[in-house]
Amino acid sequence: MKLSSVNTKELLKNIKTIFFDCDGVLWNSFGLIQGAVETVNELKSMEKKVFFVTNNSTKTQEEYLQRLTSMALMFPRMRYYVQLT
C-alpha cells in the first residue's frame, strides 16, 4: 500500500530523527534505489535530522562521503557516516 503525501506527513509529524542504512536502502549493487534521493531530500526539507549508518566495514568514511555527495545528499559531514560494528 502506498501512503499518500497527507498520510506520510501525518506519520512523520512527531518524528524528528531518521536513520538510513546505506547498502540496500539508498543503493545496491545495481545503483541507486528508486526514490532514495528524493525521499532523503524531502525529509531534509521537512527539517528532519537524517543520519546514514552502515555495518559494511569494507569501505572507508571517505568512500561513503564521496558516494553520498555524488547522490546530491548535502548534509554536514558529521551526518554522513556512522559505522556500526
Active-site positions read 21, 23
Handedness of CA 41, 63, 33, 81 (dihedral sign): negative
Q: Is 45 left (phi over 0), alpha (psi -120 to 50) or beta?
A: alpha
The cell numbers describing 3, all together, are 501512503
